[in-house]
Amino acid sequence: MHKLNSVGILGTGAYVPEKVLTNQDLEKMVDTTDEWIVTRTGIRERRISGADEASSDLAFHASQRALEKAGIAPEDLDLIVIATVTPDMTFPSTANILQDKLGAKKAAAFDLAAACSGFLYGIATASQFIQNGLYRYALVIGVECLSKIVDWKDRNTCVLFGDGAGAAVLGPVEEGYGFLSFDLGSDGKGGELLKLPAGGSRLPATVDTIASGLHYISMSGGDVFKFAVRAMGNSAEAALEKAGMTKKDIDFMVPHQANIRIIDAAVKRLGLPKEKVIVNIDRYGNMSAASIPVALDEAVNKGSIRYGDNLVLVGFGGGLTWGATVLKWSLKEKE
Protein backbone atom coordinates (compact mmCIF):
# COMPACT_ATOMS: atom_id res chain seq x y z
CA MET A 1 0.00 0.00 0.00
CA HIS A 2 1.32 3.44 -0.98
CA LYS A 3 2.41 5.45 2.06
CA LEU A 4 0.91 8.94 2.14
CA ASN A 5 3.22 11.91 2.70
CA SER A 6 2.69 14.26 5.64
CA VAL A 7 1.98 17.73 4.24
CA GLY A 8 2.43 21.07 5.96
CA ILE A 9 3.19 24.74 5.46
CA LEU A 10 6.79 25.55 4.60
CA GLY A 11 6.44 29.32 4.45
CA THR A 12 3.83 32.09 4.62
CA GLY A 13 3.57 35.55 3.12
CA ALA A 14 1.10 38.42 3.02
CA TYR A 15 0.55 41.71 1.26
CA VAL A 16 -1.97 44.49 1.79
CA PRO A 17 -2.30 47.69 -0.27
CA GLU A 18 -0.87 50.91 1.08
CA LYS A 19 -4.10 52.92 1.12
CA VAL A 20 -5.86 52.88 4.50
CA LEU A 21 -9.58 53.68 4.69
CA THR A 22 -10.64 54.47 8.25
CA ASN A 23 -14.08 54.55 9.81
CA GLN A 24 -13.70 58.33 10.02
CA ASP A 25 -13.23 58.37 6.24
CA LEU A 26 -16.42 56.33 5.83
CA GLU A 27 -18.35 58.78 8.01
CA LYS A 28 -17.82 61.31 5.22
CA MET A 29 -19.01 58.89 2.52
CA VAL A 30 -22.12 57.21 3.97
CA ASP A 31 -24.51 57.57 6.90
CA THR A 32 -22.51 55.72 9.55
CA THR A 33 -20.31 56.34 12.58
CA ASP A 34 -17.04 54.98 13.89
CA GLU A 35 -18.80 53.89 17.08
CA TRP A 36 -21.48 51.94 15.16
CA ILE A 37 -18.93 50.14 12.96
CA VAL A 38 -16.61 49.21 15.86
CA THR A 39 -19.48 48.06 18.10
CA ARG A 40 -21.14 45.93 15.40
CA THR A 41 -18.06 44.58 13.61
CA GLY A 42 -14.82 45.33 15.46
CA ILE A 43 -13.41 47.01 12.34
CA ARG A 44 -11.53 50.32 12.62
CA GLU A 45 -9.85 50.47 9.21
CA ARG A 46 -9.29 48.48 6.03
CA ARG A 47 -6.91 48.49 3.05
CA ILE A 48 -8.01 49.53 -0.43
CA SER A 49 -6.24 48.56 -3.65
CA GLY A 50 -5.29 51.24 -6.16
CA ALA A 51 -6.95 51.76 -9.52
CA ASP A 52 -3.99 50.02 -11.17
CA GLU A 53 -3.88 47.10 -8.68
CA ALA A 54 -5.60 43.79 -9.44
CA SER A 55 -5.76 40.53 -7.50
CA SER A 56 -2.78 39.07 -9.36
CA ASP A 57 -0.63 42.03 -8.24
CA LEU A 58 -1.48 41.53 -4.57
CA ALA A 59 -1.02 37.76 -4.94
CA PHE A 60 2.40 38.26 -6.55
CA HIS A 61 3.79 40.20 -3.57
CA ALA A 62 2.39 37.76 -1.01
CA SER A 63 3.71 34.79 -3.01
CA GLN A 64 7.22 36.20 -3.29
CA ARG A 65 7.37 36.57 0.49
CA ALA A 66 6.05 33.06 1.10
CA LEU A 67 8.50 31.50 -1.36
CA GLU A 68 11.41 33.41 0.18
CA LYS A 69 10.53 32.20 3.68
CA ALA A 70 10.12 28.63 2.44
CA GLY A 71 13.40 28.75 0.55
CA ILE A 72 11.63 27.48 -2.57
CA ALA A 73 12.29 28.87 -6.04
CA PRO A 74 9.29 29.59 -8.31
CA GLU A 75 10.76 27.12 -10.82
CA ASP A 76 10.36 24.34 -8.23
CA LEU A 77 6.61 24.83 -7.80
CA ASP A 78 4.40 22.06 -9.15
CA LEU A 79 1.05 23.69 -8.50
CA ILE A 80 -0.49 27.13 -7.93
CA VAL A 81 -4.00 27.45 -6.52
CA ILE A 82 -5.65 30.84 -6.07
CA ALA A 83 -8.79 31.21 -3.98
CA THR A 84 -10.68 34.37 -4.96
CA VAL A 85 -14.04 35.82 -5.89
CA THR A 86 -12.38 38.85 -7.48
CA PRO A 87 -10.21 37.40 -10.27
CA ASP A 88 -8.43 39.74 -12.66
CA MET A 89 -10.89 38.53 -15.31
CA THR A 90 -13.17 35.57 -15.94
CA PHE A 91 -10.39 33.78 -17.83
CA PRO A 92 -7.53 33.09 -17.99
CA SER A 93 -7.40 32.27 -14.30
CA THR A 94 -5.60 34.62 -11.95
CA ALA A 95 -3.39 31.64 -11.06
CA ASN A 96 -2.25 31.47 -14.69
CA ILE A 97 -1.44 35.18 -14.64
CA LEU A 98 0.49 34.74 -11.39
CA GLN A 99 2.35 31.71 -12.73
CA ASP A 100 3.73 33.88 -15.53
CA LYS A 101 4.62 36.76 -13.18
CA LEU A 102 6.51 34.43 -10.84
CA GLY A 103 8.21 32.45 -13.60
CA ALA A 104 6.87 29.17 -12.20
CA LYS A 105 7.24 27.46 -15.56
CA LYS A 106 6.40 23.87 -14.60
CA ALA A 107 3.46 24.62 -12.28
CA ALA A 108 -0.10 23.66 -13.05
CA ALA A 109 -2.39 26.55 -12.11
CA PHE A 110 -6.06 27.15 -11.47
CA ASP A 111 -8.49 29.29 -9.45
CA LEU A 112 -11.23 28.11 -7.14
CA ALA A 113 -14.17 30.06 -5.74
CA ALA A 114 -15.48 29.30 -2.25
CA ALA A 115 -15.72 32.92 -1.10
CA CYS A 116 -14.36 33.48 2.43
CA SER A 117 -13.75 29.73 2.86
CA GLY A 118 -11.57 29.75 -0.25
CA PHE A 119 -8.14 29.49 1.37
CA LEU A 120 -9.23 26.45 3.36
CA TYR A 121 -10.64 24.82 0.23
CA GLY A 122 -7.39 25.69 -1.53
CA ILE A 123 -5.04 24.10 1.00
CA ALA A 124 -7.30 21.05 1.31
CA THR A 125 -7.15 20.61 -2.48
CA ALA A 126 -3.44 21.30 -2.95
CA SER A 127 -2.36 19.13 -0.03
CA GLN A 128 -3.89 16.05 -1.65
CA PHE A 129 -1.53 16.28 -4.62
CA ILE A 130 1.47 16.33 -2.29
CA GLN A 131 0.09 13.71 0.08
CA ASN A 132 -0.34 11.27 -2.80
CA GLY A 133 3.12 11.96 -4.22
CA LEU A 134 1.95 13.48 -7.50
CA TYR A 135 3.53 16.86 -6.67
CA ARG A 136 6.11 18.06 -4.16
CA TYR A 137 5.53 21.82 -3.75
CA ALA A 138 2.33 23.84 -4.07
CA LEU A 139 1.58 27.53 -3.61
CA VAL A 140 -1.87 28.45 -2.29
CA ILE A 141 -3.03 32.06 -2.21
CA GLY A 142 -6.17 33.68 -0.85
CA VAL A 143 -6.55 37.08 -2.49
CA GLU A 144 -9.32 39.64 -2.87
CA CYS A 145 -9.90 43.12 -4.24
CA LEU A 146 -13.35 43.43 -2.70
CA SER A 147 -13.27 47.22 -2.94
CA LYS A 148 -13.85 46.76 -6.68
CA ILE A 149 -17.23 45.04 -6.13
CA VAL A 150 -18.53 46.94 -3.10
CA ASP A 151 -21.30 49.51 -3.44
CA TRP A 152 -19.78 52.48 -1.65
CA LYS A 153 -23.27 53.95 -1.17
CA ASP A 154 -24.50 50.89 0.75
CA ARG A 155 -23.62 51.48 4.40
CA ASN A 156 -24.51 47.90 5.35
CA THR A 157 -21.77 46.35 3.21
CA CYS A 158 -19.16 48.99 2.35
CA VAL A 159 -17.96 49.25 5.96
CA LEU A 160 -17.13 45.53 6.13
CA PHE A 161 -14.68 44.69 3.39
CA GLY A 162 -11.02 45.24 2.57
CA ASP A 163 -8.36 44.10 0.11
CA GLY A 164 -5.33 41.88 0.63
CA ALA A 165 -3.51 38.65 -0.14
CA GLY A 166 -2.07 35.82 1.93
CA ALA A 167 0.01 32.92 0.62
CA ALA A 168 1.35 29.61 1.87
CA VAL A 169 3.88 27.22 0.35
CA LEU A 170 2.90 23.60 0.96
CA GLY A 171 5.27 20.64 0.90
CA PRO A 172 6.29 17.41 2.66
CA VAL A 173 6.97 17.64 6.40
CA GLU A 174 8.01 15.17 9.09
CA GLU A 175 5.53 12.45 9.95
CA GLY A 176 2.89 13.44 12.47
CA TYR A 177 3.15 17.13 11.61
CA GLY A 178 1.39 19.38 9.13
CA PHE A 179 -2.28 18.99 8.22
CA LEU A 180 -3.95 16.41 10.44
CA SER A 181 -7.54 16.83 9.26
CA PHE A 182 -9.91 18.85 7.10
CA ASP A 183 -13.60 19.57 7.35
CA LEU A 184 -15.28 21.18 4.33
CA GLY A 185 -18.96 21.73 3.68
CA SER A 186 -21.57 23.69 1.80
CA ASP A 187 -25.26 24.54 1.80
CA GLY A 188 -26.33 25.84 -1.59
CA LYS A 189 -29.79 26.68 -0.29
CA GLY A 190 -28.21 29.70 1.34
CA GLY A 191 -26.58 30.94 -1.83
CA GLU A 192 -29.01 33.83 -2.11
CA LEU A 193 -27.87 35.24 1.23
CA LEU A 194 -24.46 36.39 -0.01
CA LYS A 195 -23.78 36.82 -3.71
CA LEU A 196 -22.69 38.95 -6.64
CA PRO A 197 -25.84 38.71 -8.78
CA ALA A 198 -24.66 39.78 -12.25
CA GLY A 199 -21.66 39.31 -14.51
CA GLY A 200 -22.01 35.56 -15.08
CA SER A 201 -23.98 33.53 -17.61
CA ARG A 202 -27.25 33.98 -15.67
CA LEU A 203 -27.15 37.76 -15.83
CA PRO A 204 -24.48 38.90 -18.29
CA ALA A 205 -23.40 42.52 -18.00
CA THR A 206 -25.87 44.91 -19.61
CA VAL A 207 -26.75 48.57 -19.21
CA ASP A 208 -29.69 47.45 -17.05
CA THR A 209 -27.67 45.20 -14.72
CA ILE A 210 -25.16 47.97 -14.17
CA ALA A 211 -27.87 50.59 -13.57
CA SER A 212 -29.57 48.24 -11.11
CA GLY A 213 -26.38 47.77 -9.08
CA LEU A 214 -26.30 44.02 -9.68
CA HIS A 215 -22.51 43.97 -9.99
CA TYR A 216 -22.08 44.78 -6.32
CA ILE A 217 -22.02 42.43 -3.30
CA SER A 218 -25.50 41.60 -2.06
CA MET A 219 -25.78 40.31 1.50
CA SER A 220 -28.49 39.44 4.01
CA GLY A 221 -26.38 40.30 7.04
CA GLY A 222 -28.55 38.91 9.83
CA ASP A 223 -29.03 35.53 8.18
CA VAL A 224 -25.33 35.21 7.35
CA PHE A 225 -24.43 36.10 10.95
CA LYS A 226 -26.62 33.30 12.37
CA PHE A 227 -25.20 30.79 9.87
CA ALA A 228 -21.63 31.86 10.58
CA VAL A 229 -21.84 31.39 14.34
CA ARG A 230 -23.07 27.80 13.86
CA ALA A 231 -20.71 26.96 11.01
CA MET A 232 -17.52 28.16 12.71
CA GLY A 233 -18.11 26.12 15.85
CA ASN A 234 -19.40 23.00 14.09
CA SER A 235 -16.56 22.88 11.57
CA ALA A 236 -13.80 23.47 14.14
CA GLU A 237 -15.21 20.70 16.34
CA ALA A 238 -15.53 18.32 13.38
CA ALA A 239 -11.93 18.90 12.31
CA LEU A 240 -10.70 18.36 15.88
CA GLU A 241 -12.62 15.10 16.14
CA LYS A 242 -11.15 13.85 12.85
CA ALA A 243 -7.67 14.69 14.16
CA GLY A 244 -8.33 12.81 17.39
CA MET A 245 -8.07 16.00 19.43
CA THR A 246 -10.23 18.02 21.80
CA LYS A 247 -10.64 21.73 22.43
CA LYS A 248 -7.99 21.49 25.16
CA ASP A 249 -5.38 20.54 22.55
CA ILE A 250 -5.69 23.84 20.66
CA ASP A 251 -2.74 26.19 20.99
CA PHE A 252 -4.06 28.78 18.52
CA MET A 253 -7.17 29.34 16.44
CA VAL A 254 -6.96 31.43 13.27
CA PRO A 255 -10.55 32.28 12.32
CA HIS A 256 -11.93 34.02 9.27
CA GLN A 257 -11.97 37.72 10.12
CA ALA A 258 -15.55 38.68 9.22
CA ASN A 259 -17.00 40.14 12.40
CA ILE A 260 -15.62 40.28 15.94
CA ARG A 261 -18.97 39.15 17.37
CA ILE A 262 -18.88 35.99 15.23
CA ILE A 263 -15.31 35.29 16.34
CA ASP A 264 -16.24 35.88 19.98
CA ALA A 265 -19.19 33.47 19.70
CA ALA A 266 -16.97 30.74 18.23
CA VAL A 267 -14.33 31.33 20.89
CA LYS A 268 -16.95 31.04 23.64
CA ARG A 269 -18.28 27.80 22.19
CA LEU A 270 -14.80 26.28 22.04
CA GLY A 271 -13.93 27.59 25.48
CA LEU A 272 -10.71 29.25 24.32
CA PRO A 273 -8.96 32.10 26.12
CA LYS A 274 -8.67 35.20 23.93
CA GLU A 275 -4.87 35.00 23.86
CA LYS A 276 -5.17 31.78 21.85
CA VAL A 277 -7.17 33.46 19.08
CA ILE A 278 -5.48 35.39 16.27
CA VAL A 279 -7.47 38.55 15.48
CA ASN A 280 -6.60 41.41 13.13
CA ILE A 281 -10.06 42.41 11.87
CA ASP A 282 -9.68 45.85 13.45
CA ARG A 283 -6.94 46.74 10.95
CA TYR A 284 -8.07 44.96 7.78
CA GLY A 285 -11.80 44.27 7.89
CA ASN A 286 -13.16 41.26 6.04
CA MET A 287 -10.69 40.28 3.28
CA SER A 288 -12.66 37.13 2.37
CA ALA A 289 -10.28 34.38 1.15
CA ALA A 290 -7.24 36.46 2.21
CA SER A 291 -8.20 36.90 5.85
CA ILE A 292 -7.00 33.58 7.30
CA PRO A 293 -3.61 33.45 5.53
CA VAL A 294 -2.87 37.11 6.33
CA ALA A 295 -3.69 36.56 10.01
CA LEU A 296 -1.61 33.36 10.04
CA ASP A 297 1.38 35.12 8.48
CA GLU A 298 1.23 37.94 11.03
CA ALA A 299 1.15 35.45 13.91
CA VAL A 300 4.11 33.56 12.45
CA ASN A 301 6.11 36.76 11.97
CA LYS A 302 5.47 37.81 15.58
CA GLY A 303 6.84 34.48 16.78
CA SER A 304 3.54 33.57 18.43
CA ILE A 305 3.31 30.23 16.62
CA ARG A 306 6.05 27.75 17.43
CA TYR A 307 7.18 24.29 16.39
CA GLY A 308 4.71 21.64 17.56
CA ASP A 309 1.80 24.02 18.20
CA ASN A 310 -1.66 22.72 17.28
CA LEU A 311 -3.57 25.20 15.12
CA VAL A 312 -7.18 25.32 14.02
CA LEU A 313 -7.91 27.39 10.92
CA VAL A 314 -11.65 27.88 10.44
CA GLY A 315 -13.92 29.97 8.25
CA PHE A 316 -17.23 30.36 6.45
CA GLY A 317 -18.37 32.18 3.35
CA GLY A 318 -20.80 32.67 0.51
CA GLY A 319 -22.09 29.55 -1.13
CA LEU A 320 -22.84 29.01 1.64
CA THR A 321 -19.55 27.31 2.49
CA TRP A 322 -17.47 26.47 5.54
CA GLY A 323 -14.21 24.76 6.33
CA ALA A 324 -11.63 24.01 8.99
CA THR A 325 -8.27 22.31 9.29
CA VAL A 326 -6.16 21.14 12.20
CA LEU A 327 -2.41 21.27 11.70
CA LYS A 328 0.60 20.69 13.88
CA TRP A 329 3.11 23.44 13.09
CA SER A 330 6.20 21.89 11.53
CA LEU A 331 8.53 24.87 11.13
CA LYS A 332 11.37 25.14 13.59
CA GLU A 333 12.79 28.51 14.54
CA LYS A 334 15.94 29.36 12.62
CA GLU A 335 19.08 29.37 14.70
H or E segment and range at residue 267 = helix 260-270
Q: Is the pLDDT of residue 240 over 80?
A: yes
Is 145 marked active-site?
A: no
The single residue of 116, 234, 259, 310 carrying the catalytic annotation is: 116
Residue 296: left (phi > 0), alpha (psi -120 to 50), or beta? alpha
Is 215 marked active-site?
A: no
Residue 42: left (phi > 0), alpha (psi -120 to 50), or beta? left
Is 256 marked active-site?
A: yes
Per-domain residue ranges of the chain: 7-176, 179-328
The single residue of 23, 234, 259, 286 carrying the catalytic annotation is: 286
Same fold, 7-176 and 179-328: yes
Whether 287 and 259 have beta carbons less than 8 Å apart is answered as no
| Positions of E strands within 135-237 | 138-145, 163-172, 178-186, 194-195, 218-219
Q: Is the pLDDT of residue 2 over 90?
A: no
CATH number of 179-328: 3.40.47.10
Q: Is the pLDDT of residue 275 over 80?
A: yes
Say how many C-beta atoms besides its own lie within 10 A of residue 63's C-beta: 31
Whether 220 and 153 have beta carbons less than 8 Å apart is answered as no
pLDDT tens, residue by residue, 108-123: 999 999 999 999 999 9
Q: Is the pLDDT of residue 77 over 80?
A: yes
pLDDT tens, residue by residue, 11-25: 999 999 999 999 999
- The mean pLDDT value for 200-205 works out to 97
Supply the pLDDT for residue 335: 47
Supply the pLDDT for residue 107: 98
Q: Which residue has the higher pLDDT, 267 or 324?
A: 324
Q: Is the pLDDT of residue 1 over 80?
A: no
Whether 253 and 272 have beta carbons less than 8 Å apart is answered as yes
The single residue of 23, 61, 145, 256 carrying the catalytic annotation is: 256
Binning pLDDT at 50, 70 and 90, where does residue 334 land?
A: low
Q: Is the pLDDT of residue 276 over 50?
A: yes
Q: What is the pTM of this model?
A: 0.97
Supply the pLDDT for residue 333: 78
Q: Mean pLDDT over all residues of the chain?
A: 96
Q: Is the pLDDT of residue 3 over 80?
A: no
- The mean pLDDT value for 218-231 works out to 92
pLDDT tens, residue by residue, 158-200: 999 999 999 999 999 999 999 999 999 999 999 999 999 999 9
Whether 227 and 318 have beta carbons less than 8 Å apart is answered as no
H or E segment and range at residue 67 = helix 55-70
Supply the pLDDT for residue 332: 87
Q: Is the pLDDT of residue 241 over 70?
A: yes
7-176 classified as CATH 3.40.47.10: yes
- The mean pLDDT value for 225-253 works out to 95
